[in-house]
Amino acid sequence: MFDSIRVGGKDKPSILVLGHFKGEGLDKHSAARDGQGEAAKALTRGEATGDLGAIAESHPGTGFARIVVVGLGEKKSLDLAGLRSVGAALARRLSAVKGGVVLIDLDGPFKARRFKPAEAGEALGEGFGLGAWIDDGFRGSATKKPSRPGVTLCAGDRQVQGGLERGLALAEGANLTRRLSNTPPNIATPAWIAEECRAIAKKAGLKMRVWKGEELEKERFTGLINVGKASENAPCMIRLEYTPAKSKKDARPLVLVGKTMTYDSGGLSLKINNGMKGMKRDKDGGCAVIGAMHLIGTVIKPDRPVVALLACAENSISDEAYRPDDIITYRNGVTVEVTNTDAEGRLVLADALCWACEKENPEAIIDAATLTGGVVVALGKVYAGMFCENDRLRRAVEAASGATGERVWRLPMHAEYRDMMKSPIADILNSNPSREAHPVQGAAFLSYFVNGDTPWCHLDIAGVHAVEGPSGLFAAGPTGWGARLMARVAQGM
C-alpha cells in the first residue's frame, strides 16, 4: 500500500483529514480548520453518511489540495476500537490517492469523547498501520506491481502525533508476524525461522539461543524430535530473552511459548480432502510470539524479563516418520501414546512447557497455538479460545485483549477433560478418538506439562490467525493475532 509511513517532519501538508459524528456537522474546532467551508460542503454529499470510516472529500482551490472528512459513527459509541477502524479506512483511502503529507485533526471529536490524546492517536496509528499492510513480496514478473507511494502523517496536537507514532510501531509488530505467516513452507523452514529470529533479536536487543540436532537429544525435547524427524528440514527449539535495563531483583520472567509448525501435513495421519492447504500458517502461534518479542524489545520495554520459546518443526512423512502407536517419554517423565500424528502441536508445545516450568522459574506462561480445528467450529474467527485457571493472569490477558481488540473467550478445563486424555498403556494419549471437546482436549493434554502452581494461559488461535476475505482492519490473509496482545500483557501484568 505504502512504500513508507512517516510521522511528523517539516513538509507542508497537502491533505487535511477532519472527522464528524453521524447525523452531525463539523464541531467548532474542525470548522475553524475548514477555513473556506469546503469540508462542510463535502458533508452535504450522499457518501457523507457519518458511518464509521465513511469518507467524503473536497478539493479546495487554495490551501490544502484535498480535504478528507471521515465518519466517526454515532457520537455515543465511538471508542478506541472505532478509532482503529477509522485509521484503517484512512490508510485505504490515502493509498488510493497516492499518499502525500497528511494533517490529521480529529481533536474536536477526541475532546467530545474525552479521549486521552495520546491514546486516541495510538489507536488511529495502530489501525492505519494494520490497514495499510500488504505483502507483494512474492509477486513476480507476471504481475505489474502498482507504484507504492510514501505517506507522512502529522497531527496538530503533539500528544496525538506521539500516539500516532507509537500506534504505527505497534502495528509493525503484528505486521512482522503477518509477513512470517505468509512466507511459504519451502522457504520458511525451522532454520529460516531461526535466522529471522537472529536478525530480530539483534534489532530488538534480545538474547538468543537455539537447540538443534544432538542438542535436542541432550535436552530430551522428545516432541520436537519425533514430530520433526520425517522432514529434511530439521526441527529446533529457539529461546529469546528480553532483559529490562533496570530489573527488580529476583524478577521472574513472563514466558511466551509458540507453536511454530512450519508445515503441518498431518504426518502419517495425513490430512485429507484439501485440509492441508493453508497449513503454512500452522506456525502462527510462534510468529505471534516473535512479533510480541519485537514489540517488547523496541516499543514496550517493560521492566520485567520476558522469555520466548519457539518449538519449530515440520510435520511431514517419510519412512522415518513417527507413527500412531509410538510411545514417547518427556523430560518431566510423562509418557505419551501417539494415537494421531496430526495432533502434533501439543507434542512440541509440551517440550517448551516442561522446559519453562523446570528452567525458567516463570511468573506466568502464555502459549499461542493454531492447535485445533475444533476451536474454529466452536468460536469461528471472532474469538480465540482461552484456557486459564489463574484469575490474576486471566484478568491480565482479558485487559490486554480489551485494549487491543484481539478477542478471547474462556473455555473450560476440568478434571473430566484431563481424564479424557488417559491412555490404556501410557500415561496419556495425544488425541482421544472421540470427537468430543477437541479444543479442550488440546488444553487438557498441555496441562500435563505445566506445574500445577504456575499461572498458565493457553490461547488456541486456529480461528483468528487469518481471514479469508477483507475483515475489519484486515485484508485477506494473516492477522498477526496475538503479537500486540502478548506484548500488552508483558507491559501490564
User: Which residue has its beta carbon closest to ligand BES?
Assistant: 373
For position 294 contacting ligand BES by CB under 6 A, the verdict is no
Q: How far is CA 232 from CA 222, 276, 452, 488, in A?
A: 17, 19, 37, 37
Q: Which is nearer to ligand BES, 166 or 438 (CB)?
A: 438
Q: Which of 64, 56, 194, 175 is nearest to 127 (CA)?
A: 175
**Which of 22, 346, 484, 488 is an active site residue?**
346
Q: Residues 276-305 vs Zn ion: string with x where CB under 5 A?
A: ------x-----------------------
Which cell numbers in the block locate residue 392? 490474576
For position 282 contacting ligand BES by CB under 6 A, the verdict is yes
Crossing angle between the packed helical segments 483-492 and 391-404, to the nearest 10 degrees? 120
Least distance (Å) between residue 372 CB and Zn ion: 9
**147 contact partners, CB below 8 Å, separation of at least 6:** 98
Which cell numbers in the block locate residue 36? 473556506
Residues lying near Mn ion in the complex (CB under 5 A) are found at 264, 342, 344
Crossing angle between the packed helical segments 158-182 and 483-492, to the nearest 10 degrees? 130
Binding partner of 440, given ligand BES, Mn ion, Zn ion, none, CB within 5-8 angstroms per partner class: none
Contacting ligand BES (CB under 6 A), which of 267, 374, 385, 477? 374
Q: Residues 412-451 vs Zn ion: string with x where CB under 5 A?
A: ----------------------------------------
311 within 8 A of 368, measured Cβ to Cβ: no
305 within 8 A of 361, measured Cβ to Cβ: no
For position 324 contacting ligand BES by CB under 6 A, the verdict is no
Distance in angstroms (rounded) separating the CA atoms of residues 486 and 463: 17
Q: Which is nearer to Mn ion, 39 or 376 (CB)?
A: 376
Binding partner of 33, given ligand BES, Zn ion, Mn ion, none, CB within 5-8 angstroms per partner class: none
- 166 catalytic residue (yes or no): no
For position 351 contacting ligand BES by CB under 6 A, the verdict is no
Q: Which is nearer to ligand BES, 297 or 345 (CB)?
A: 345
Q: Which is nearer to Mn ion, 165 or 264 (CB)?
A: 264
Give the DSSP per-residue string, 361-395. Answer: --SEEEEEE---HHHHHHHTTT-EEEEE--HHHHH
**77 contact partners, CB below 8 Å, separation of at least 6:** none
For position 345 contacting Zn ion by CB under 5 A, the verdict is yes
Unique residue bearing C-alpha cell 502452581:
453
Which cell numbers in the block locate residue 466? 487469518
- 252 catalytic residue (yes or no): no
Least distance (Å) between residue 373 CB and ligand BES: 3
**348 contact partners, CB below 8 Å, separation of at least 6:** 223, 224, 227, 228, 235, 259, 260, 261, 311, 313
Q: Which is nearer to ligand BES, 67 or 461 (CB)?
A: 461
Q: Determine how β-strand 55-58 pairs with β-strand 4-7.
A: unpaired
Choose the binding region for ligand BES from 191-199, 204-212, 219-227, 339-347 (rule: CB under 6 A): 339-347
**Which of 271, 394, 407, 418 is an active site residue?**
271
Distance in angstroms (rounded) separating the CA atoms of residues 209 and 143: 40
For position 438 contacting ligand BES by CB under 6 A, the verdict is yes
Q: Which is nearer to Zn ion, 99 or 385 (CB)?
A: 385
Least distance (Å) between residue 195 CB and ligand BES: 23
Which cell numbers in the block locate residue 244? 529490562
Total residues contacting ligand BES (rule CB under 6 A)?
15
Distance in angstroms (rounded) separating the CA atoms of residues 111 and 104: 14
In single-letter form, the type of residue at position 368 comes to: A
Least distance (Å) between residue 434 CB and Mn ion: 17
Choose the binding region for ligand BES from 47-55, 176-184, 306-314, 335-343 (rule: CB under 6 A): 335-343
In single-letter form, the type of residue at position 142 comes to: A
For position 104 contacting ligand BES by CB under 6 A, the verdict is no
Could you say which residues in the range 180-209 bind ligand BES, by CB under 6 A?
none
Contacting ligand BES (CB under 6 A), which of 177, 370, 401, 404? 370
Please give the torsion angle defined by the CA atoms of residues 238, 215, 454 and 490, in that order, rounded to the nearest 10 degrees.
-20
Which cell numbers in the block locate residue 230? 520425517
Contacting Zn ion (CB under 5 A), which of 264, 314, 337, 351? 264
Contacting ligand BES (CB under 6 A), which of 107, 342, 360, 406? 342
Q: Which is nearer to Mn ion, 85 or 189 (CB)?
A: 189
Q: Which of 238, 240, 227 is nearest to 313 (CA)?
A: 227
Q: Which is nearer to ligand BES, 64 or 417 (CB)?
A: 417
Q: How far is CA 483 from CA 136, 173, 311, in A?
A: 21, 6, 17
Q: Which is nearer to Mn ion, 25 or 324 (CB)?
A: 324
Cα 332–Cα 437–Cα 354 angle in degrees, nearest 5: 15
Choose the binding region for Zn ion from 61-69, 237-245, 274-282, 395-403 (rule: CB under 5 A): 274-282
Enzyme catalytic residues? 271, 346
Judged by the rule CB under 6 A, the positions of this chain that interact with ligand BES are: 264, 282, 340, 342-345, 370, 372-374, 376, 431, 438, 462
Judged by the rule CB under 5 A, the positions of this chain that interact with Zn ion are: 261, 264, 282, 345
